[in-house]
């Protein structure tokens, strides 16, 4: 809900439990008033009437108060907007109008010197406390006017209230070690996270959370900000001299040039979403999850199937017969979606060749993919394939025909990673080629699922002949989004997974057009607990793909673990199987079938329930709990038992203290208040033990 007061210059947005308020002064300064629990319009108006901070000769009266600080004028904070022509740098705006459209507030400004139009967008939905913010920049000048260089255009600047001791939570990592949660105290100055790699990156998820008064998992105030962008990005957290916190975020890492706007050109920033919560880190996560399930992830109400993926089993050495054999075994244990990974196309027998040529390898699939797809369908499963459309190997028909289609700088090395180069998706001809290839592929065989990979970063991201700043960085992402949107519209039955060497492309932008993401190439079930713990801070289990692979772990560390531990670890998200099923004994197949059956029973609770992190994975006992209506599922893992000590009972959350809860496996009945206060006993012991507990309110 949006309310307007103060002569049309004060706005109050109201969500499920929180409010956000802003005000336009009579000098057209857009100042922040409030972000936190609900207040009334009268409260917002009296905040707006407070005098500005006192004048000091070396301080700005605007810094730390503005909703969207621009470069220029009496400001010293990091600007959200930086624009120049050859003649003038910086922005001086005047307000030109405002509009509300349902839940969305639009505030318009213009800088006549630059012919610049700027619109700030805000949206707070009735069922959530997430505030979605983004900006549109337009060159409104006449034909022939000077082009504008957009050096930086952030989506938003968030202002947090003054507090004593701010703490930052972030999710950092690298390949095979993504999304690991780190908390640190903030000091005056700036902390900058981001990616200058062309994709979201394994190094940081585009998310920060800040708490000031020692929030815990289930209590205290937490602010969070998350960016919906799958290219290079930056989030800068700034603690100003007076203790105010300001957080800016947007596309691109540096301030040296995002793109060039000709007269009539526009640029829309990604969404930078912000959340205030007073339910601790767990409450904040649940609010983020609910918002993504309701408003971001497509078809989120539909459960994701149990999948099989052949990558760890077969690598590049694949054949139709071998895939058929795996498919039969997968169907036997209850898999619902069979995905052929890399190496089914072109001359792709290793990572040295074939990317770019999206037709089935005639030696491996003489009749194309259809015969295998038909067999998979006949076994009662859906059929999926792997693609990596944005890339090309130098050894490919595509590159031989179109060497100019890759990102490159004239006369410079074309750096290869994994023997591949990045196609320049900003080019219309590349977009047309990919559409034709992928649309053709999805039309040629009954494909139900596409795993869309991206296995290297941008390095030599140049576009010969294009003026600087080159739009290739932003347009690559827009072209990717457009391609996915068009494919989804043309093939509505096909689901998409976002992968980038594991979790290198996980963000709200890609999640708004894919059905799930590949969390990490690290399928070691123990490492995964920490990765999943981090992932869950922002994103729901419904989007988090997790596979059970072989033991000893073949990809990474040789760790030996039981099927039980591997399954319970992967059951915390969208369960998949990624081991070499032809090497599993009959007893393992039978046990796997039981786990898959159990997963299907608890799946509605895991994928659509509310998540409570009961204990973080830190070497001992860890556990998560999901609650959906009357159903409760607890997954618990013990890394190592010491001194023969019993594990402490798990204090459950989100239950009705007055109700009784029955366990269908043991027939035991527990009182809600006991489960909440004393806790659930687990009997986990030894090393790498795990268990699933089901409870139902009676």
Rounded Cα–Cα distance for residues 45 and 488 (Å): 45
Our CB check for ligand GLA shows the closer of 499 and 652 to be: 499
- Find residue 689's DSSP bridge partners: 638
Instruction: Give Cα separations from 598 to 228, 561, 629, 633, 695 (angstroms).
Output: 34, 20, 19, 11, 13
**521 catalytic residue (yes or no):** yes
Residue 435 in marked binding region:
no
- Find residue 190's DSSP bridge partners: 238
Give Rg (Cα) of the chain: 26
Residue 439 in marked binding region:
no
Our CB check for ligand GLA shows the closer of 387 and 487 to be: 387
Our CB check for ligand GLA shows the closer of 320 and 342 to be: 342
Quick one: which of 355, 362, 349 has its CA closest to 318?
349
Quick one: which of 293, 387, 286, 358 has its CA closest to 624?
286
Q: Which residue is nearest to ligand GLA (CB)?
A: 342
Longest dimension (CA), the chain: 80
Query: Tokens 């729901």 label which residue?
Result: 540
Query: What is the four-CA torsion angle of 287, 291, 293, 296, rounded to 10 degrees?
Result: -150
Rounded Cα–Cα distance for residues 370 and 683 (Å): 49
Q: Are strands 104-111 and 180-185 parallel, antiparallel or unpaired?
A: unpaired
Our CB check for ligand GLA shows the closer of 499 and 510 to be: 499
Residue 418 in marked binding region:
yes
Neighbours of 2 (CB within 10 A): 17
Q: For the CB of residue 622, give the shortest distance to ligand GLA in the complex, in Å.
A: 25
Catalytic residue among 453, 524, 527, 689: 453
From the centroid of its chain, how far is CA 664? 35
**Strand, coil or helix: what is 48?**
helix
Q: Which residues bind ligand GLA (CB under 6 A)?
A: 311, 341-342, 386, 453, 455, 499, 501-502, 518, 521
Q: For the CB of residue 519, give the shortest distance to ligand GLA in the complex, in Å.
A: 10
Two structure tokens written together for 73 = 């004028």
Rounded Cα–Cα distance for residues 521 and 186 (Å): 32
Q: For the CB of residue 696, give the shortest distance to ligand GLA in the complex, in Å.
A: 36
Our CB check for ligand GLA shows the closer of 448 and 521 to be: 521
Our CB check for ligand GLA shows the closer of 352 and 697 to be: 352
**255 catalytic residue (yes or no):** no
Residue 453 in marked binding region:
yes
**Strand, coil or helix: what is 144?**
coil
Which strands, in side-by-side order, build the sheet including 259-261? 81-84, 148-153, 259-261
Q: For the CB of residue 179, give the shortest distance to ligand GLA in the complex, in Å.
A: 14
Q: For the CB of residue 323, give the shortest distance to ligand GLA in the complex, in Å.
A: 15
Two structure tokens written together for 562 = 């039981």
Q: For the CB of residue 362, give the shortest distance to ligand GLA in the complex, in Å.
A: 20
Q: For the CB of residue 344, give the shortest distance to ligand GLA in the complex, in Å.
A: 11
Rounded Cα–Cα distance for residues 44 and 21 (Å): 6
User: CA-based angle 663:664:669, to the nearest 5?
Assistant: 35
Residue 455 in marked binding region:
yes
- Find residue 30's DSSP bridge partners: 24
Q: For the CB of residue 376, give the shortest distance to ligand GLA in the complex, in Å.
A: 18
Q: For the CB of residue 351, give the shortest distance to ligand GLA in the complex, in Å.
A: 6
Our CB check for ligand GLA shows the closer of 346 and 502 to be: 502
Residue 175 in marked binding region:
yes
- Find residue 105's DSSP bridge partners: 100, 122
Rounded Cα–Cα distance for residues 49 and 55 (Å): 17
Residue 656 in marked binding region:
no
Quick one: which of 241, 245, 231 has its CA closest to 199?
231
Rounded Cα–Cα distance for residues 129 and 131 (Å): 6
Catalytic residue among 140, 521, 527, 689: 521
Contacts of 163 (CB under 8 A, 6+ apart): 212, 213, 243, 245
Rounded Cα–Cα distance for residues 246 and 105 (Å): 21
Our CB check for ligand GLA shows the closer of 409 and 418 to be: 418
**Strand, coil or helix: what is 179?**
coil
Query: Tokens 């105010």 label which residue?
Result: 244
Our CB check for ligand GLA shows the closer of 452 and 595 to be: 452
Residue 272 in marked binding region:
no
Rounded Cα–Cα distance for residues 628 and 601 (Å): 13
Residues marked as binding? 175, 341-342, 418, 451-455, 499, 521
Q: What amino acid positions are annotated as catalytic residues?
A: 453, 521
Residues marked as binding for substrate? 175, 341-342, 418, 451-455, 499, 521
């Amino acid at each position: 809900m949006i309310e307007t007061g103060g002569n049309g210059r004060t706005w109050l947005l109201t969500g499920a439990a929180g409010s956000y308020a802003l005000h336009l002064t009579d000098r057209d300064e857009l100042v922040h008033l409030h972000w936190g629990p609900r207040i009334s319009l009268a409260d917002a108006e009296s905040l707006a009437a407070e005098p500005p901070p006192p004048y000091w000769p070396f301080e700005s009266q605007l810094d730390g108060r503005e909703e969207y600080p621009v470069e220029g004028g009496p400001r010293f904070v990091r600007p959200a907007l930086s624009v120049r022509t050859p003649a003038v740098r910086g922005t001086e705006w005047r307000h030109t109008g405002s509009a509300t459209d349902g839940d969305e507030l639009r505030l318009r400004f213009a800088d006549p010197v630059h012919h610049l139009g700027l619109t700030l967008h805000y949206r707070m939905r009735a069922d959530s406390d997430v505030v979605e913010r983004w900006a549109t920049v337009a060159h409104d000048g006449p034909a022939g006017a000077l082009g504008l260089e957009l050096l930086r255009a952030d989506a938003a600047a968030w202002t947090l209230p003054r507090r004593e001791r701010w703490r930052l939570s972030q999710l950092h990592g690298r390949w095979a070690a993504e999304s690991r949660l780190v908390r640190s105290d903030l000091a005056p100055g700036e902390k900058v996270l981001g990616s200058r790699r062309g994709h979201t990156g394994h190094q940081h998820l585009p998310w920060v959370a800040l708490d000031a008064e020692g929030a815990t998992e289930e209590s205290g105030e937490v602010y969070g900000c998350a960016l919906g962008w799958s290219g290079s990005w930056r989030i800068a957290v700034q603690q100003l001299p007076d203790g105010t916190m300001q957080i800016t975020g947007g596309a691109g890492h540096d301030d040296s040039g995002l793109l060039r706007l000709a007269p009539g050109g526009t640029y829309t920033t990604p969404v930078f979403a912000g959340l205030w919560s007073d339910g601790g880190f767990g409450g904040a996560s649940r609010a983020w999850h609910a918002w993504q399930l309701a408003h971001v992830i497509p078809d989120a109400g539909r459960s994701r199937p149990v999948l099989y993926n052949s990558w760890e089993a077969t690598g590049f050495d694949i054949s139709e017969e071998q895939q058929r054999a795996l498919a039969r075994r997968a169907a036997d244990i209850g898999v619902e979606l069979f995905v052929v990974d890399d190496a089914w196309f072109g001359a792709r027998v290793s990572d040295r060749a074939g990317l770019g040529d999206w037709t089935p390898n005639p030696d491996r699939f003489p009749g194309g993919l259809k015969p295998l797809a038909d067999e998979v369908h006949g076994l009662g499963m859906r059929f999926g394939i792997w693609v990596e459309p944005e890339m090309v190997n130098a050894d490919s028909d595509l590159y031989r025909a179109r060497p100019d289609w890759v990102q490159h700088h004239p006369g410079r090395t074309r750096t290869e990673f994994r023997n591949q180069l990045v196609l320049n998706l900003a080019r219309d001809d590349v977009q047309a080629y990919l559409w034709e290839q992928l649309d053709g592929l999805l039309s040629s065989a009954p494909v139900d699922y596409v795993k869309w990979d991206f296995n290297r970063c941008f390095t030599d991201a140049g576009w010969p002949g294009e003026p600087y700043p080159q739009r290739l960085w932003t347009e690559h992402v827009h072209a990717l989004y457009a391609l996915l949107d068009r494919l989804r519209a043309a093939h509505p039955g096909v689901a998409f997974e976002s992968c980038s060497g594991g979790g290198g492309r996980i963000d709200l932008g890609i999640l708004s057009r894919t059905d799930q993401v590949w969390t990490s190439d690290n399928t070691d079930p123990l490492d995964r607990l920490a990765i999943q713990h981090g992932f869950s801070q922002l994103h729901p289990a419904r989007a988090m793909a997790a596979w059970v692979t072989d033991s000893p772990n073949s990809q990474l560390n040789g760790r030996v673990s039981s099927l039980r531990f591997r399954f319970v670890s992967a059951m915390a998200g969208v369960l998949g199987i990624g081991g070499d099923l032809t090497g599993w004994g009959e007893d393992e197949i039978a046990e796997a079938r039981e786990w898959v059956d159990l997963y299907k029973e608890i799946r509605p609770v895991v994928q659509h329930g509310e998540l409570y992190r009961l204990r973080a994975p830190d070497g001992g006992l860890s556990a998560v709990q999901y609650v959906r209506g009357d159903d409760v599922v607890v997954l618990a893992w013990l890394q190592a038992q010491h001194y023969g000590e019993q594990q402490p009972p798990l204090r459950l959350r989100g239950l009705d203290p007055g109700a009784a809860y029955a366990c269908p496996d043991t027939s035991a009945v527990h009182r809600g208040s006991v489960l909440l206060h004393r806790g659930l006993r687990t009997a986990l012991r030894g090393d790498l033990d795990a268990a699933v507990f089901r409870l139902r309110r009676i």
